Structure formats: C-alpha cells, structure tokens
Amino acid sequence: MPITVGQDTSKTRRTLSVGAQSVAYYSIPAAEAAGLGDFSKLPAALKVVLENMLRFEDGGFTVSVDDIKAFSDWAAKGGKNPREIAYRPARVLMQDFTGVPAVVDLAAMRDGIVALGGDAQQINPLNPVDLVIDHSVMIDEFGNPRAFQMNVDREYERNMERYVFLKWGQKAFNNFRVVPPGTGICHQVNLEYLAQTVWTDTDQAGETVAYPDTLVGTDSHTTMVNGLAVLGWGVGGIEAEAAMLGQPISMLIPEVVGFKLTGAMVEGTTATDLVLKVVEMLRVKGVVGKFVEFYGEGLDHLPLADRATIANMAPEYGATCGFFPIDNETLRYLRQTGRDEDRIALVEAYAKENGFWRGADYAPVYTDTLELDMGTIVPAISGPKRPQDYTPLDKAAQGFFKVVSEYRGEDDSNDAHDMLNEAPAPDTMVDPRKSVKVKGEDYELRDGSVVIASITSCTNTSNPYVMIGAGLVARKARALGLTRKPWVKTSLAPGSQVVSEYLEAAGLQEDLDALGFNLVGYGCTTCIGNSGPIQKELSEAIAEGDLVATSVLSGNRNFEGRISPDVRANYLASPPLVVAYAIAGDMNIDLTNDHLGIDKDGNPVFLKDIWPTNAEIAELVEKTVTREAFMSKYADVFKGDEKWQAVETTDSQTYDWPPQSTYVQNPPYFRGMSAEAGTISDISGAKVLAILGDMVTTDHISPAGSFKETTPAGKYLTERQVAPRDFNSYGSRRGNHEVMMRGTFANIRIRNEMLDGVEGGYTKGPDGAETSIFDASMAYQEAGTPLVIFAGEQYGAGSSRDWAAKGTALLGVKAVIAESFERIHRSNLVGMGVIPFELTGGDTRKSLGLKGDETIAISGLAGDLKPLSEVPCTITYADGTVKVIQLKCRIDTEVEIEYVENGGVLHYVLRNLAKAS
C-alpha cells in the first residue's frame, strides 16, 4: 500500500499515510538526521524502547536528549550501556490472582488519598488496563461431559466475593476493563485479540499517534505477546499499579542477547520440544535481566504460534523478554486472528518506515549471541522440579529412576538431572521403587505412577499445531482401543474458546473426550496448582507408601509443591505427549522403546503407532483454524455469560469494605500514613527468620495452591467459620492480607536450613523452639525485633508474584540477603520497602556458617545512599564471634531510593498525588 512521510515541527515527529489513514509517529531515522546518534544497528526490541524515549522526550516527561543518545552509545559499545531510563508502557494486563490485590491496593489508595485531603478520583488508571479472570477455575470435576459446567458453577460459588469486588472496580475506575470468567487465559486473549502490534491513540491536540504496542503485566508470562512483536514483560502488581497511575518504570538500558535460529523442525517434534531446549540453553547462558531477541533464517519456518510458545517461557529461561521482530508471519497471524485490515496495513507500513521490520538484511548488533539448528531438536520433557531440567524423551525413564534413587537415599548424587548422562543402567542398581495396593481398586500405585495428566496453560494451549497433534494422538489411540489408565486424572483447559472451536470442527474433541480429556474450563488450572483433588484412595496410597507420584502437564511451571500436594515429581511436556503419558500411566515406561498398551486385538502399541505426521497436523490446522472462528469468539469478549451478568455491585467512588469478608480486606499499607516521606535507616539487632537455598521461587515464598486447616492460614479461616472445602486457594485469597501473610514462606516443600530435615514453613522462634514462620514473625514483631532472610542463588525465580514481597514486608523482614536475585522479585521487594542485598567477595550462606541464631547489623544505609552501593554487614554469632562482610545493596536506581524512603512505590505515588492536589 503506498505510504507518504511528511515532516512535523518537532525534531522527530513525522506523519505517515497508509491508504486512507494518516497518523503521526516518532521517527527513528529522523532522530538520526537530527544528530542524536546512529540507531541503525539496534535490535528491534531495543528500538521499541528508543521510540518510547523519543515520544516522551518530545513531551518533556523525564527523558533527556542524553537518554536518547545513550542508545547510539549502546550499539557503539557492542551492546552495553546500562544507563538508567524512565520507560512508559502503553497499557497494563492483569489476571485475577494478581489483579485482585492490585485493585485492592487502588481501592485502599483512594481511602488513603481522601485521608490526606485529596480527591478519590485522583486514583485512576491513566493507561488502559485489562484484567482477565482466568486463575480461579479449579478441576473438581473431570473426565465427563458435565465437567466444564460443574467447575464453572463451583468457581462462582467459591469466588463470588472477589467477582463482586472486580465488578465494582470496573464501574469505579476509568480505563479499566474486565474479561469475565470462562473466556480464556489472559496471555492468549492478549495474543489473539487485545494486542495490536502497533498501537494508536489521540494526543492532547486530538491527533492520532501510532507507536509500538507495549505493556507490562501482573503475570510473568506476559512475555508471550513478544511472539507478536509486542514488547511486554511481567512485573509485580505493585509496579503495575505505579505504571497504570502514570509512574514511569525505572530501568537500565538492557543487554540484548541474540538467539539465532536456523534450519527447520523435523518430523515428530513440536514447538514444546524446541522451547524446552531453548530454556535449557539460555539458563546455561545466563540471561537474567536481559532481553533475548530471536533472529535468523529459521524464523522463516517458524509459525507465530511457535514463536509465542518460546516467548511465553522467557521467565523460565530467566530473561526479561524473548522478542520476535515484525515480519510477514506477524502480518499473517494478525489477519488470521481477525484484526482489522487497516491495522494490518499500518503495522507493515510503520515497521518498514521506522526500522522495525525483519527483512533478509536484518543484522543488528547484539550484546552476545548463541545459535540453535532446529533440525537437531528431539522429543523431550523437563522435570522433575525445574523447567530447565531438560531431558530427551529417550532418557526420561532412566532420569526418573535416578530421581527415585536420590529420594530413597540409594544415590549420593546431588542432582538427578545433572547426573543423568553418568547414571548406570537401572538394572545394575538396587531398585528403590515402591508400590502400594489402592484400597477398593484392582491395581497398585508405584513410584512413577502418573496421577495427573493435564493439557493446560497459556504456553501450549495457544498453539493449534500441538493441540491438533494431541487430538490426533487421541484419535489414533482410540481407534486401537486404548484409553487412559484408571489412576490418571485427565483434563483439558484451553487458553481460549477458539481452541474448542477448531477441535470441534476437526472432530477431535470427541476423541479427546473418549480418553478422559474433557473440557474442564477456560483458564489456568493445573499449571498454577488448581489441579483439584485426586481420588481419595489414591492420595491415601501415595501417603502410605511415601510414593514419588508424578504429573505430566503441558505447562510452563513444575516447581516443588506447585502442581498438587500429592505429587512430588512434575514434568512439562507437549500436549501430544501428555496424552501418551495418560495412556502409559507410568513415568518408568520408556515411550521411545516400550509399548504404551495393548490394542483390542492383543497387539502391543508403541508411541510411533499413534503419533501423527506433520502433514496431518498442518492439513487440519489449515482447514479448521479460521479467521471467522476468532472473530466469532471475541465478538462479545467483555460481556460474559448469564452468571457474570447477574453479579451485582454498588456504585461508589470508594469501596465499602465488608468486615465479614475472608476474600477482600482493606490492607494496612496506607493506614496512618504521614504526608512526608521518611529516610532509610541502618538495620541493627536483627534476627534471622529463615535461611533458604538456591532457586527459591516465588511459589516457595508465596504459594498459590491449596492449604490445610492445620496451617496458620487454615486456622485463621476456621476461626471465621469457613469450612475446609471452602478454603479455595492462596491465590484466590490474595485480596486478604491476613490470609496471605500467614501463607508467606508456607510452601509444603520449602526448606529452612535453620532446621534439619524439615519441610514446610517452619523456623525457630525467639525462644529457639520450632514454630511456624508466621508465629515466629509475630513474636519478633511484638518484641520490636527486625528480621532478615538469607538465601542462595536466583532467589525469587518464577512468577511475578507481588505477594512474595508483600508477605515478606508484613512479616517484619527489613532485608533479604541473597547470593543473587531474579529480576521481578528484586523489584517487588524494593516496591514494598524491603531492601535486597547481595553477598559479595565469594561469600555464601554456607561459607558464612550461618545457623540462624546470629544477630545482624547493616550500616551505611542512613544518609546519602547511592544505587548499588556496597555496605558493611556485621554478623554476631551465638558464641560472640563477630564477622564483618560487604553487601551490595540492590537498590538499583535513584528513583528506587525514593521508593524505599517512602516505604514503597505506592506510598511514593500516593504522597505525590496528595501534594499535587
């Protein structure tokens, strides 16, 4: 389509005409012409950030000319220039687990600003916010045609208080939309409908301006939309709230690692196999806090659904995002998913005019690179407890044998996965595996029995190639007379209603139903711990034998204690492999050599007998995944079903907090807040609340799943006459700080190194006796004693869970001292006024000989603290020995110092708004 470029009066603002459209935009070539630098070799992901600087420098928003020139220096210095910048995303995406506490905070901020003499209407999102209710459906019912409706009914019963509150928020706040339950997963709804790749809005003069679609989200897998060339990543709810209130995100210009893809996928492999290999490679490379951009001729053979699968798992490989530039495949996907033709034309014209297009000559500068030939990918799974525990399928059974051997103490290796290639064959080792007869059934469970097989999660259910593949595996298995093993809880929870549309159109849902993969809901289920209970007799058998039961899911997370309290080993796999493992029913079976079952004629059936060809999959995708299906399913995306429409709420500017609610309570953050900020103080006389190991995730710190009545959270609810069957989950109760602070560090698999051989949320109290972390915290706080946490490497990996920081703060923790931090959790701690510190000089929690009975003092904080300063920490051991070490203060930027001085980012924003009024 012909385009014309006309000049505006500003340095970089230009006009772009595409057909009948005429829009203003901020031109990177114009910035070069104005002498601001050479930006031609910047990666597309970084050009998105540069455009943000141009647009807001023109408007005078805390962006300087030197900030813009820094991007030219970045390229000249080989991809490094960690200058602090103020970045403003176009919009915010939320899901209900993280969104409810965010809306709670906004409601509390309205109360807070009124108390400071301001106007409640000052607290409103300035940028568009979409909240998708996708985390609340739980798999109570499965394996039958009634499962979907029964789970939806139960969802409304459990969550009505939360839904009333969210509907109030939709009415009370500007720029805030809610996508009702039963619609889909937020990332898939974003990819298929909300995202535009190039966004448009009107400026203060009423002129339409085009700019890259960008966002932050309160879910770590917001990165999925990077597959559509939309720059987005997960942040904590605290940071998202600040962003929606107009506060820029303070960040350093990131390094960008280029990941070159070559070749093409071979027969029998899937996008899941590819992404699991990518996760392993990038974890080894080390990309925490960095952008990853994918490039190379391999992208010419990679459908956008596969790109989105890779982008989705950026948190699993540790990167801020995994970005794919705009190209012809981007346009094809936008068209297929029902985007307006004028928008598609604008995306192409804008990308080509402003230097975002990936053509044959695309060759930017990267900080570092690595390369993968997709022709070398083999079928694989990852587990038993980390996404990066990559295992080729032909070694999966052997790998599981090592897991059991380690658990039973028959193997002295520290990491079953790392020792896999050195492991002797199972028949040369003492077999440690146990089995238990299941009461009332004619079968036994043993170590390795697959008790959960779930096609779930945004990662893979958004990809029609693997979903159609799973349906074809079910069809071929059904034709041979195979079905799931009776002890396997099977479920299908797609990321959007479009998936059901094309599975039905292909006739594959009937085949999936026949194997027990009935629709259970549209939303996050097993992947976030909403797997629901397994059969009581199975649970009892697992407990009786202390069995290493397993789950196989098409998700992105398999951290300890996340999927189910009955399951110790969890494996990530492609949807077709999930179906295959449901048929096999046992992780000890080698799917590449052993038979899965016996057909109706008595013949053994192997995986190759039921695995579809790539041509079979592609033919059905082409036939059934249509533009019309997307347009139909998203026509009334905000309307919801009759249940949602029947939810009643009040019209009021501030929320009338129901005192009896156990789901939504007014948090204490802003009560009695003064109009002026405080100062950062040194820490003295602090005690150790917990000493934690490596790779402690936000699931360990703030679990999302179910809990028992014997826990502090369970006792709190029981005292308020809530029956255990109505406890729901920690995730669903994130609007109630009383539940969540009791659930902090309460994961059933967390290990506090202050205690020997103890799992769960326990520590030593002030009297030295073992007690819950919550009870110890309350005793210390009553005595006025500050607390610290010690931890290992990659502390806070995983979900962008703001409650991992909120709970830490409410437990009275003033500092977290770790060997290293994951990006989002570090930011969240700062956002709650908790100071993160890193050990330096080779010190580790082990080398320091910590027992938990030490007293800690950290000085150098009061006065003129600078970002990333090194400060002294004095450790006084129980025997009176004193050791002084240096800590790196991970308050990374000047504005973060202001956040901590204010007690947190929301306090900072609230005080500034109150002053403005």
| pLDDT score, position 1 | 42
Pairing of strands 835-839, 882-889: antiparallel
> Comparing C-alpha atoms, which of 101, 31, 122, 269 is closest to residue 653?
122
List the beta strands (DSSP E) in 243-339. Answer: 249-252, 256-262, 291-295, 321-323
Amino acid at 676: E
Averaged pLDDT, 384-397: 93
Q: Exposure string (b/e) for 690-723, b if CB count within 10 Å is 16 or more?
A: bbbbebbbbbbbbbbbbbeeebbbbebbeeeebe
Give the residue from 67, 71, 44, 77 showing the smallest Cα distance to 367: 77
Helix (H) or strand (E) holding 875: strand 870-876
Question: Which stretches does DSSP call E strand in 326-464?
Answer: 368-373, 380-382, 390-392, 435-437, 444-446, 450-455
Answer yes or no: is pLDDT of 421 > 80. no
416 pLDDT tier (thresholds 50, 70, 90): very low
Residue 356 has a pLDDT of 97
Res 411: pLDDT = 58
| Whether pLDDT at 426 is above 60 | no
Q: Is 879 exposed, middle or buried (0-12, 13-18, 19+ CB in 10 A)?
A: exposed
Which letter does DSSP use for residue 453 in this model?
E
- CA 510, CA 294: separation in Å to the nearest integer? 38
CB contact at 8 A, 796 and 696: yes
- pLDDT tens-digit profile of 544-596? 999 999 999 998 888 777 888 899 999 999 999 999 999 999 999 999 999 99
Peptide bond into 384 cis (omega under 30): yes
The whole-number average pLDDT for the span 732-749 is 93
For residue 787, list its beta bridge partners.
Answer: 687, 813
CA–CA dist 484, 473 (Å, integer): 12
Question: Are residues 316 and 457 in contact, defined by beta-carbon separation less than 8 angstroms?
Answer: no
Q: Are 881 and 855 in contact (CB under 8 A)?
A: no
More confident residue, 251 or 517: 517
As a whole number of angstroms, the distance between CA 231 and CA 227 comes to: 9
Domains 88-252 and 683-702+744-916 equal at CATH topology level: no
The pTM of this model reads: 0.84
- Token pair listed for 653: 């500017």
DSSP code, position 535: P
Cα of 164 vs its chain's centroid, Å = 25
Alpha carbons 430 and 439: distance in angstroms, whole number = 28
Q: Is the pLDDT of residue 412 over 70?
A: no
Percent of the chain as helix, strand, coil, to the nearest 5: 40, 20, 45
Q: For 192, which DSSP code?
A: I
Average pLDDT, the chain: 92
Compute the distance between CA of residue 559 and CA of residue 567 in angstroms, rounded to an integer: 11
- pLDDT for 3 beyond 70: no
Task: Return the structure tokens found at 855.
Answer: 């007293």
Q: Rounded to whole angstroms, how far apart are CA atoms 780 and 789?
A: 14
- Domain covering 683-702+744-916, topology: Aconitase; domain 4 (3.20.19)
| Alpha carbons 561 and 703: distance in angstroms, whole number | 8
| Cα dihedral value 651, 653, 656, 661, nearest 10 | 80
**Tens digits of residue pLDDT in 27-71:** 999 999 999 999 999 999 999 999 999 999 866 567 899 999 999
Residues 782 and 685: beta-carbon distance below 8 Å: no
pLDDT at 141: 87
Cβ atoms within 10 Å, residue 77? 12
* 572 contacts 276 by C-beta, under 8 angstroms: yes
Tell me the one-letter amino acid at 895: V
Using the structure block, give the residue that is written with the tokens 């962006």. Answer: 63
4 pLDDT exceeds 80? no
Q: What is the pLDDT of residue 538?
A: 96
Helix (H, G, I), strand (E, B) or coil at 666: coil
pLDDT-derived band at 420 (thresholds 50, 70, 90) equals: very low
Using CA atoms, how far apart are residues 463 and 465, in angstroms rounded to an integer? 6
* Structure confidence at residue 242 (pLDDT): 84
Q: What is the pLDDT of residues 628-654, one digit of tens each?
A: 999 999 999 999 889 999 999 888 999
Q: Please tell me which residue, 744 or 386, carries the higher pLDDT value.
A: 744
Report the pLDDT value the prediction gives residue 239, as an integer from 0 to 100. Answer: 83
Q: Which helix (H) or strand (E) holds 695?
A: none
Assigned token pair, 457: 């999660």
* pLDDT tens digits, 775-820: 999 999 999 999 999 999 999 987 778 899 999 999 999 999 999 9
CA–CA dist 698, 798 (Å, integer)? 6
pLDDT in tens, 64-114: 999 999 999 999 999 999 998 999 999 999 998 888 888 999 999 999 999
Cα–Cα distance, 481 to 597 (Å, whole number):
9
Residue 85: name the closest of 120, 57, 122, 126 by CA.
57
Q: DSSP secondary-structure letter at 194?
A: I
3-state secondary structure of 884: strand
Number of alpha carbons in the 13 Å side-chain half-sphere of residue 206: 0
Query: Tens of pLDDT along 447-456?
Result: 999 999 999 8
> How is the chain split into domains, by residue range?
88-252, 384-396+435-628, 683-702+744-916
Cβ neighbours for 534, distance < 8 A, ≥ 6 positions apart: 451, 452, 489, 564, 566
Domain 88-252 has CATH 1.20.120.1080: no
Q: What is the 3-state secondary structure (H, E, C) of 555-578?
A: CCCCCCCCCCCCCCEEEECCHHHH
Backbone angles phi, psi at 32, to 5 degrees: -65, -45
Tokens 């679990």 appear where?
A: 703
pLDDT digits (tens, 9 = 90+) for 196-229: 999 999 988 889 999 999 999 988 899 999 999 9
Percent of the chain residues topping a pLDDT of 90: 76
- Residue 612: which H helix or E strand, with range? none
- Dist. CA 294–CA 369, nearest whole Å: 10
Q: At what angle do helices 905-916 and 96-115 cross, to 10 degrees?
A: 40
Residue 229 corresponds to which tokens in the numbers above?
């060339």
Calpha distance 178→164 (Å, rounded): 12
**Nearby residues of 50 by Cβ (< 8 Å), 6 or more positions away:** 28, 31, 39, 42, 68, 71
- Residue 424 CA to its chain's centroid (Å): 37
From the list 808, 844, 806, the residue with the least C-alpha distance to 108 is 806
What architecture (CATH level 2) is domain 384-396+435-628?
2-Layer Sandwich (3.30)
Torsion angle of C-alpha atoms 456, 461, 462, 465, degrees rounded to 10: 160
Is the pLDDT higher at 710 or at 917? Answer: 710
- Per-residue pLDDT, 145: 92
Q: Please tell me the distance from the alpha carbon of residue 78 to that of residue 366, in angstroms, as a whole number.
A: 7
The pLDDT tens digits of the residues spanning 847-905 come to 999 999 999 999 999 988 999 999 999 999 999 999 999 999 999 988 899 999 999 98
